[in-house]
Amino acid sequence: MNLDAPLASIKGVGPKTAKMFSDAGLVSVLDLVTFLPRKYEDFSEVTAMRDIRPGKRTVKARCEKVETKRVRRGLQITTATLVDETGKISAVWFNQPYRDKQLRSDGEFYFSGEYEFSYNRYQLTNPSAEKVSEVPVSTDRIVPIYRAIKGLKSQVVRKTLIELRPVITMMAETLPDDIVKKEKLMPYADALLALHFPNNMDEVEQARDRLAFEELFHLLLAATLNKKANMELSGWYIKFDKEIVKSFVDQLPFKLTDSQRKAAWDIIQDFERATPMNRLLQGDVGSGKTVVAGLAARQAASAGFQTAIMAPTEILASQHAKTLSSMLEPLGVGVGLLTGNVKGVARKVLYEKIADGSVNVVVGTHALIQDKVKFHRLGFVVIDEQHRFGVAQRQALLQKSDNMPHLLSMTATPIPRSLALTVYGELDVSIINERPKGRKPILTKTWSPVDREGLYDRIEEQIVMGRQVYVVCTLIDDNPMLEQKSVQAEYKKLRVGPFKHRQIGLLHGKMSSAEKDEVMARFSDGKIDILVSTTVVEVGVDVPNATVILIENADRFGLAQLHQLRGRVGRSDLQSYCYLMMSDTTPPTRRLKEIEKSNDGFYLAEVDLKLRGPGEIYGRVQHGQLNLQVATLGDARLIARAQKQAREFVESKRDLLQYIGLAEQVEKYQRLTKLN
Ligand code: ADP
Ligand code: MG
């Protein structure tokens, strides 16, 4: 049997099953044998109802009295009575309406879940439910559960894999043999066998480690090779000019913090090197990254190079253009703004100025990467909120230069140190870990809708003091139309209700860029007291006089996003407040409690990592382009091992092509961050 053979050619896989597989993205034998279980159920310890105690339990039972109720919007509860020969218990499922049908079918199930005291009685909460007839009880009692993509049943996957067992046994090693030996890893075939047909959980752990090691090895090998390739490029030489930098710093209305100074110095030094810079500037929201980029752009301009600064939204691009012109124009450095909003003659003139070099610093959205934009001498590229851009967009901007420009990526998404190596393997990193002097921690508080009036009183107090307020509404569902509706509704409500005597503005993504700019400008100038907005204000927006942000339905946001949004306030030495309004009266989650307690983005990132797992965070950072199946990116020890092997592999100058699939795997990751 060939690994490329279609699944349809396997015994027992008829056209219907083959269709189910292919709908789930599984076409070849290889696809299926590398489709790994999502989790395992241990059916070896079945508890009789009579003996059940609180804790994680598995019972074998029939269902009685299945019922699904819609308790309120957004909450459906399915309940059932589970019965075996020794007694009965209750079970409950939240928001799993599909359970209803499953539980009404005849026969016995294995239920696994937490037996606990909730809603005034002991019950099994959200247990998994597997038909006994579908579980291969006779042999392995630890049963792999596969992701049910488009209704694909675990049982079907298991059955087909049994047919493929001999093929798996014969699969060739994918890692270099010496590495398998040195690191005492499970051979590839053994690892797949252990994952699909586990004898015990220890074996599963070892198999996962082996595959995780391999993924990390690929990732770090790609990073090491990228770094090496970047070292071989020649960059623009931008000479450090002390007087130029000093004159820039002297005219700032504030003193740079030590970490801003350190980050700027890192960049200036990179400018003088023979190889192009590839640096990440990581600094928590409000830490002052823009001015660091401005300083470097000033240095580049004085050496005769242009700078391109790309930001993810029009609001942000125009804000940067404003800030940077005020810092740079007085020094004779021309700043231009290019967004979709610049049209007609103005756009043509701007193109010409960029092409003849009379504009030194070009700030813009992804409009910058259009073909028509030709630079005179692009030496320095800054990507703000870099995680918002795809690889292709970054590359396209870099290609606007004849020679590889220096690249500074900026991000306010702090990621835990343990992830930095894997996520940003080949980048040099500068960190701004302090906020400008005099900033007070933002006071953050969760709020229940029943106390809304009291909250509005507090907000009114701030407005009376001359401060401004953001009210952020989230999207209900993943539907931008509904999002727009919800912010419009909120806007109307506030205008006729508690704040009818105040100036209220509205901002959402569906507005034209001219409208958005206008509203933002009026808010910046203090002409709007309350800005009701969608999450378009999430990143970057800087209005120092705004001291209150009220986030509606805060429980629907992730931790990182809440932290970002909160960063819209606390941008001056005024005391600022972040109010997290709950959707209903249920108590705040752990996530919300953490953000109440801490203003530290790095700490919150660590918490997020613990609560949600690395896949989620990694996905966000890299736009989901890395599809890691097993690797735990938080596993520092495994990362260190993989890195050591990757480094040695590159040093030994071995040929990637010598190993099955290695070159392909590595290339997949290389495309993500390579400079050229
Ligand atoms: P971010 O790192 O989130 O991009 P910004 O660059 O937008 O932050 O800066 C936030 C605010 O802090 C801006 O209003 C900026 O002018 C101000 N700022 C930056 N550096 C300092 C500093 N050293 N002292 C005081 N204010 C500063
Ligand atoms: Mg910023």
CB 396 within 8 A of CB 585: no
**Which ligand lies nearest to the CA atom of residue 316 in the structure?**
2
Instruction: Tell me the torsion sign for CA atoms 246, 247, 250, 253.
Output: negative
Residues near 257 by beta carbon (within 8 Å), at least 6 away in sequence: 287, 288, 432, 434, 435, 436, 437
Pocket perturbation via mutation, ligand 1, pick of 251, 261, 291, 316 by most ligand atoms within 8 A of CB = 291
Q: Is the CB of 286 under 6 A from ligand 1?
A: yes
Nearest atom (ligand 1) to Cα of 256: 23
Measured CA to CA, the distance from residue 171 to residue 380 in angstroms comes to 48
Specify the pLDDT at position 227: 85
Distance 4 CA to ligand 2 centre (A): 48
Q: Encoding tokens for residue 431?
A: 């960190």
414 lines ligand 1 (CB under 6 A): no
Q: Whose CA is nearest to atom 24 of ligand 1?
A: 436
For ligand 1, atom 4, the nearest C-alpha belongs to: 289
Is the CB of residue 257 below 6 angstroms from any atom belonging to ligand 1? yes
Q: Mean pLDDT per segment of 10 residues, for the chain of length 676 residues?
A: 87 89 92 90 81 86 89 85 91 86 86 84 87 62 83 85 93 93 96 93 92 89 86 91 96 95 97 92 89 98 97 89 96 95 92 96 96 96 87 88 92 71 76 89 94 95 96 68 75 92 91 85 94 80 93 87 90 95 88 91 80 54 51 73 92 86 80 58
Nearest atom in ligand 1 to 432's CA: 2
Residue 291 CA: which ligand 1 atom is closest? Answer: 6
**SS3 readout for 438-500:** CCCCCEEEEECHHHHHHHHHHHHHHHHCCCEEEEECCCCCCCHHHHHHHHHHHHHHHHHCCCC
Ligand nearest to the CA of 264: 1
What is the per-residue pLDDT for 482? 63
DSSP 8-state code for residue 138: S
| pLDDT at residue number 2 | 85
Q: Ligand 1, from 287, 537, 599: best to mutate by most atoms within 8 Å of Cβ?
A: 287
Ligand 1 touching residue 435 (CB < 6 A): no
* Sign of the torsion angle spanned by Cα atoms 17, 22, 27, 33: negative
Give per-residue burial for 521-548: e unless 16+ CB within 10 Å, then b.
eebbeeebbbbbbbbbbbbbbbbeebbb
Ligand nearest to the CA of 255: 1
Alpha helices (H) along 599-635: 601-612, 614-622
Instruction: List the residue whose alpha carbon is closest to atom 16 of ligand 1.
Output: 288
pLDDT at 622: 44
Which domains does the chain show, CATH number per domain? 1-40+146-165 (no CATH), 45-140 (2.40.50.140), 242-273+288-411 (3.40.50.300), 443-598 (3.40.50.300)
**Helix (H/G/I), strand (E/B), else coil: 3:** coil
Encode pLDDT of 591-623 as tens digits: 899 999 999 888 887 787 777 665 554 444 443
Nearest Cα residue to atom 20 of ligand 1? 288
Ligand 1 centroid–CA 256 distance in Å is 9
Per-residue pLDDT at 657: 85
Asked whether the whole model's pTM tops 0.85, one would answer: no
Evaluate: CB of 294 within 6 angstroms of ligand 1.
no
Cα–Cα distance measured from residue 602 to residue 620, given in angstroms and rounded to the nearest whole number? 15
CA 355–ligand 1 middle distance (angstroms): 31
Predicted pLDDT of residue 613: 60
Q: From the CB of 235, is ligand 1 less than 6 Å away?
A: no
8 A C-beta contact, residue 34 and residue 192: yes
Q: Which helix (H) or strand (E) holds 17?
A: helix 15-23
Ligand 1 geometric centre to CA of 436 (Å): 7
Residue 246 CB partners (closer than 8 Å, separation 6+): none
Decide whether any atom of ligand 1 lies within 6 Å of the 542 Cβ: yes
User: DSSP characters for 302-362?
Assistant: HTT-EEEEE-SSHHHHHHHHHHHHHHHGGGT--EEEESTT--HHHHHHHHHHHHHT---EE
Please count the other Cβ atoms lying within 10 Å of the Cβ belonging to residue 298: 23
Q: Please indicate whether residue 290, judged by its CB atom, sits closer than 6 Å to ligand 1.
A: yes
436 lines ligand 1 (CB under 6 A): yes
Distance CA 282, CA 150 (A): 39
Helices (H), strands (E): how many in the chain?
Answer: 23, 20
Q: What's the confidence (pLDDT) of residue 347?
A: 95
Instruction: Dig out the tokens for 118 from the structure.
Output: 């909730």
